[in-house]
């Protein structure tokens, strides 16, 4: 049976929008995508002296188990030109597995739900856009409730390339 999964995408180097589109195209090989948020432009987190990010969240279903899905995501990042630099540094693409069904797990390689997703407006705003009433399997808070900690969209705004 297919499991609902949520993936966050981000890029702040090169043609950022094209990188997100390319990532979505690759993810279609392992996920049947049924919802995509708008694209948001955001300030970087952690290391502020770098270009602005474009971010997006997608929802879909997959038969791929979480550890295998993470490995495939890492392969896609490499195919798209991501190279490891330093934590929170600039990147051509960043693909994060946020949620895989209602699974709560923690290993040295994968923690679900993503441990920092509730601290990041660039994840919460697009996730709440596509799933406002979705409840976290660990905390039972909805995305709308999580957004109460982000009462404004400071540092996060809908991308308008024109």
Q: Which residues are catalytic?
A: 82, 91, 94, 96
SS3 27: helix
**Residues in CB range of 83: below 8 A, 6 or more apart:** 92
**Residues in CB range of 41: below 8 A, 6 or more apart:** 52, 53, 54, 55, 156, 157, 158, 159
Regarding beta strands 3-11 and 94-100, do their DSSP bridges make them parallel or antiparallel, or are they unpaired?
A: antiparallel
SS3 25: helix
């Amino acid at each position: 049976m297919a499991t609902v999964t949520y993936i966050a995408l981000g890029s702040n180097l090169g043609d950022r929008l094209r990188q997100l589109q390319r990532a979505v195209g690759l993810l279609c090989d392992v996920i049947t995508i049924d919802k995509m948020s708008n694209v948001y432009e955001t300030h970087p987190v952690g290391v502020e002296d770098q270009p602005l990010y474009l971010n997006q969240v997608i929802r879909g279903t997959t038969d791929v188990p979480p550890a295998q899905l993470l490995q495939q995501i890492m392969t896609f990042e490499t195919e798209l030109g991501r190279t490891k630099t330093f934590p929170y540094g600039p990147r051509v693409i960043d693909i994060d597995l946020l949620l895989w069904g209602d699974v709560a797990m923690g290993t040295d390689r994968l923690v679900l739900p993503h441990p920092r997703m509730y601290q990041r407006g660039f994840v919460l705003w697009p996730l709440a856009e596509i799933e406002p009433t979705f409840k976290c399997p660990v905390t039972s808070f909805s995305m709308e409730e999580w957004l109460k900690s982000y009462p404004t969209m400071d540092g996060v705004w809908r991308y308008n390339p024109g």
